[in-house]
Amino acid sequence: MDWTVEAIERLRALWAEGHSTAEIGRRMGISKNAVVGKAHRLNLPARPSPIRRDANGEALPRPQPVRTPRPAGVVPRLTLPQVAPSPAPVLAPVAVPPPAPVVRSFPRFSPARACCWPIGEPGQPGFRFCAAEALTGKPYCPEHAAVAYVKARDRREDAA
Ligand SMILES: [Zn+2]
């Protein structure tokens, strides 16, 4: 390619008009590479490529910050309360008496003849059985057997 002054001016003009290097070469009867090489040597301003033109031509909409809709009536908890929450009020322990064990039957004592006279109130601490040696054929020791039969006799007398 013999770059005459006219050719160079033609190149500059076509270049300025924004033709593609291929189009310029076609109009000037030279190769695209010749156009590109000469334009480079002439320090012609680089033209934005079609891709760049598209990128710059249309301003992309700036992404809007996503705002999550706030449910009405809900106060956003942005900050935690500075004051440490007071501990839950310690409720005075209500003395709930444990249910008294229902004594359905007096336990059997390993010595078969242990006095099963109850001492104390059933279900209360300290309640126990006498556990002394019972009289033969009696569920109580002599002492308690006397009490038991006295009471039985009193009850009979009261009933009569
Ligand atoms: Zn006894």
Measured distance CA(49)–CA(82) in Å, rounded: 58
pLDDT tens digit string along 95-119? 666 666 555 555 544 456 889 899 9
User: What is the secondary structure of 20-79 as a DSSP string?
Assistant: -HHHHHHHHTS-HHHHHHHHHHTTPPPPPPHHHHHHHHSPPPPPPPP-PPPPTTPPP--S
The Å distance, Cα 111 to ligand 1 centre, comes to 13
User: What's phi and psi for 86, nearest 5 deg?
Assistant: -65, 145
Tokens of 26: 């076609």
Tokens of 6: 């006219």
The Å distance, Cα 134 to ligand 1 centre, comes to 7
The Å distance, Cα 143 to ligand 1 centre, comes to 6
The Å distance, Cα 132 to ligand 1 centre, comes to 5
Q: pLDDT confidence of 80, banded at 50, 70, 90?
A: low
The Å distance, Cα 151 to ligand 1 centre, comes to 15
In a 3-state reduction of DSSP, which class is residue 127? coil
The Å distance, Cα 127 to ligand 1 centre, comes to 13
pTM over 0.95: no
pLDDT tens digit string along 131-142? 899 998 888 999
